[in-house]
Amino acid sequence: MNPLDIAIIRGRLQQITDEMDVVHTKAAFSPVVSEMSDRANAIIDPRRLEVVSQGKTGLPVFVSAMQSAARSIMRKVGPELREGDVVIMNDPYLGGTHLQDVKLLRPYYRDGRLTLLLVSTGHYVDMGGASAAGFDPGASDIFQEGLQIPPTFLCRDGAVRADVMRLIVQNTRLPEAQEGDVRAQLNALDIGARRLDALVSERGIDQLLAAISELADRSEEQMRNYLLRVPDGTYRGRDAIEVSQTDELVIEAALTFSNGSVAIDFTGSSPTYRGPLNLAWPTTETAVFLAFKHCFPEVPINGGCFRPFSFTCPPGSFLNAPWPFAVGGFSESAQRVADALFIALAKALPDVACGGSYGTGGTLTFSGHAENGAFFASVFPMCGGYGGSKGADGLVHGPLPIGLAQFPKLEASEHDFPLRWDALEIRPDSAGAGRWRGGPGSVFRFKPLVPMTVAFLGDRARFAPFGVVGGQPAALTEIAIRNRDGLIGGPGASQVKGVKVEPGDIIEMKSAGGGGYGNPAERDPAATAADRLDGVVTSPP
């Protein structure tokens, strides 16, 4: 094809998914989408069931997950699809992540021909389950985590099925908000279909599909060329997730590079356990893709760049958990999969390596009744420091690398919920030292204005974010809840089950920093002096 035509079509597809993201965000009722952008939208090629394009502000962890969801939906109900249909599902074993991430798929027909698939994912604050807002550290199976929705027709022939909508809102503590979020996703799918109508009218179906195929083939070729830079051989990475203050889950990753492809073997990783940190296989798979995409950011995101990968993960591993194991804390384990791969890749490609990030979704959930009696529930995802890399210090107050869900604006959260913020600031002396240091962590502190139940599901309170190429590890996560019973949490604690707090109690989270890159003795003295002036470092010279 003419390169100019390909470039134009690629740009138009990107613009469509970007606009879907905007519509989804603006129409959503829940702050977790409207403020924190915990959502993504994509176009899927139904011929190979591969991602074509995703909005640039969508969560990276949803890219491959939406591809897995589309494959499962087409396998389950594909022959029954008609124009005007929308399928809804949140089954993590079929589409990755956890029950709160609800996927909607709409087939796009042109001239009676199934041409593309539009997919939208949004985080719903509450899907029922034992704990409001999910992320329950005490969940021992998926039944305790909420409503499970297999591939189900939400819309038939362009009309929303009232019975399915009633089923969803009946199983949430926030019925108005969650119905609003469903309709926000329907709006995003609608704008995607309208923009595809315009694109197909201008370019025609055949030229559009030819461009999509060529773009995917080019991404595959580009990824293989990057993989060829790695000397053939096997490189190993190991990391661990805290299950408690004494137990952990271990990730063993062996990466074998050969002739422009890579085989990832998770043999030796811990078995499944009765807790929420297991991963359904689609989530593990997408964590691997994300790790490589961080190292090779120039490769365009579509299904082609995933083709050079193959996997081995023995049955019974917590990275390949079967139904009905709990998976609500997937963000912790998925990030740790990526970190294990970063450790291995640092040995293979030190020039593109980076220190470990703060590495935890560190999700605090809270719920209760406002003064007017209305029930509220929501989540605060932790942000923190990124690892240093060759030529650059780590990012400050970054979102979880696999997720990118933003921390909410303080003014907005005080408006939406009965709480008062006392601090959101840089955490001194939390960055890993190095020639290029990691980013410092952050301090979050607030007080409830009404009685609440709070819980915390996180990581990195025992195993620090790692340094690379001689860099030092960063500070650990700390969580502290100070109520009338004293201190709950403290050093070494990364999980706190539901705790009752009252007005005047204090909830404080300190996120980890990022690991350093290179020998700290080689750091530019001027950069060290600037760190002290900025409060990143307080220790004497």
pLDDT digits (tens, 9 = 90+) for 8-17: 999 999 999 9
What is the reported pLDDT for 87? Answer: 98
Instruction: Identify the H or E element spanning 310.
Output: strand 309-312
* 280 neighbors 327 (Cβ within 8 angstroms): yes
With bands split at pLDDT 50, 70 and 90, how would you rate the model's confidence at 539? confident
Q: What torsion do the CA atoms of 76, 80, 84, 86 make, to the nearest 10 degrees?
A: -20
Place of tokens 């209760």: 368
Cα 357–chain centre separation: 14
Chain center to CA of 126: 17
Give per-residue burial for 357-380: e unless 16+ CB within 10 Å, then b: bbbbbbbbbbbbeeeeeeebbbbb
**Residue 490: pLDDT above 80?**
no
Residue 407 has pLDDT above 80, yes or no: yes
Joined together, the tokens standing for residue 529 give: 């002096």
CA distance 476 to 358: 8
Q: pTM score, two decimals?
A: 0.95
| CA nearest neighbour of 155 among 82, 101, 245, 220 | 82
Q: How confident is the model at residue 274 (pLDDT cuts 50, 70, 90)?
A: very high
CA distance 190 to 184: 10
pLDDT band at residue 485, thresholds of 50, 70 and 90? confident
pLDDT in tens, 343-399: 999 999 999 999 999 999 999 999 999 999 999 999 999 999 999 999 999 999 999
Per-residue pLDDT tens digits for 148-207? 999 999 999 999 999 999 999 999 999 999 999 999 999 999 999 999 999 999 999 999
In eight-state DSSP terms, residue 384 is B
Q: Which residues contact 276 (CB under 8 A, 6 or more apart)?
A: 135, 136, 137, 139, 145, 326, 327, 328, 329, 457
* The predicted structure's pLDDT at residue 443: 97
Ramachandran angles phi, psi of 108, nearest 5°: -110, 115
- Predicted local distance difference test score (pLDDT) of residue 493: 83
The tens digit of pLDDT for each residue in 142-160 reads: 999 999 999 999 999 999 9
Give the whole-angstrom CA distance, residue 325 versus residue 333.
14
Q: In the beta sheet, which residues pair with residue 263? A: 256, 310
Element (H, E) at 191: helix 175-203
Per residue in 15-27, pLDDT (tens digit) is: 999 999 999 999 9
The pLDDT score that the predictor gives to residue 541 is: 59
Give the pLDDT confidence score for residue 355 in this predicted structure: 96
| Res 436: pLDDT | 98
**Residue in 321, 341, 316, 315 with CA at minimum distance from that of residue 276:** 321
Q: What is the end-to-end Cα distance of the chain in Å, rounded?
A: 61
Q: Which amino acid is at 203?
A: R
Q: What confidence score (pLDDT) does residue 491 get?
A: 78
Residue extents of the structural domains in the chain: 3-220, 354-541
DSSP string, 103-122: EEEEEEEETTEEEEEEEEEE
Average pLDDT on 45-73 reads 95
